[in-house]
Amino acid sequence: MDNQIDAFLKKLSYGAIAIASLTLFSLFLRTPDTCVPPEAPPKSHLRFPKSSCDFTSTRPHLPSDKKNNRLWSSRDWNNKLHSISLIFLPIRDLGLLPNHSKILCVSAGAGHEVDALQRLGVIDVTGVELFDSPPLVSRADPHNLPFFDDAFDFGFTARFDEALFPARFAAEMERVVRPGGVCFVLVGECGSHEKLKSQESQLSISTPLIISPCMNSKTYRYLGEGLEAKRVFFSSMLLASILFFTPK
């Protein structure tokens, strides 16, 4: 009786193996319906990729200039560009941003501030970020800037509150901006005066120019050394506070 059961199980196993093999073989021979329709004409220049390298070699290459033009013409890019321009226009009116200035944008992201300054007429604008976005932004570590001391007239950053080491970040900005130049730090909207004071303490400020507690007020006071106090008006849409300081 046992021998009969063993023979039956072996026959059943052989049958299952044969059915599975035939099914697998038919799947290899059949073209998926979602890939290429059976009535589609054959394309000799397109073959099934044998590796990931074969797949990437057949993908269409989009030139960087076309990709940038598509990005720069988007509504989101132009909206951000307009908001940043609203920040720089009053600063230029104060005489702190002449067109011949050498400007450094630290942690420039995709390059919105670089593009905004160039459209305002500033010729020499350099943007750096951990990941480059050519042609507007080059790759560099904001905590270890690859520039000589006193190389720039104006330094700007809108991401100081995102820095891993704020004191080192501010020290590098101060190092590369010449004495008498301006470092312009745009920080996020604060919830209290103490938060802004905490960010201010990370900056080795020698001559504070603007210290605004929050964006609840639309007016910022410009207190330049040896200059009369002036008022700068910003749009209420700009939810940010501003710190200015001049390098020692």
**Domains of the chain and CATH, by start:** 78-246 (3.40.50.150)
Q: What's the whole-number mean pLDDT along residues 179-190?
A: 71
Closest CA to 155 of 178, 188, 129: 178
pLDDT of residue 212: 35
* pLDDT tens digits, one per residue of 206-215: 333 333 333 2
- Distance CA(64)–CA(61), nearest Å, equals 9
Tell me: pLDDT of 221 over 50.
no
149 confidence band (pLDDT: 50, 70, 90): very high
> Higher confidence at residue 218 or residue 30?
30
Segment 97-123 mean pLDDT = 93
DSSP state of 141: B
Region 141-163 average pLDDT: 89
Q: Is the dihedral of CA 193, 198, 202, 204 positive or negative?
A: positive
What's the pLDDT at 26? 79
Q: What percent of the chain has pLDDT over 70?
A: 61
Phi-psi region of 137 (alpha: psi -120 to 50; beta: other; left: phi over 0): beta
Q: Classify the C-alpha dihedral 142-148-149-154 as positive or negative.
A: negative
Place of tokens 């919105």: 112
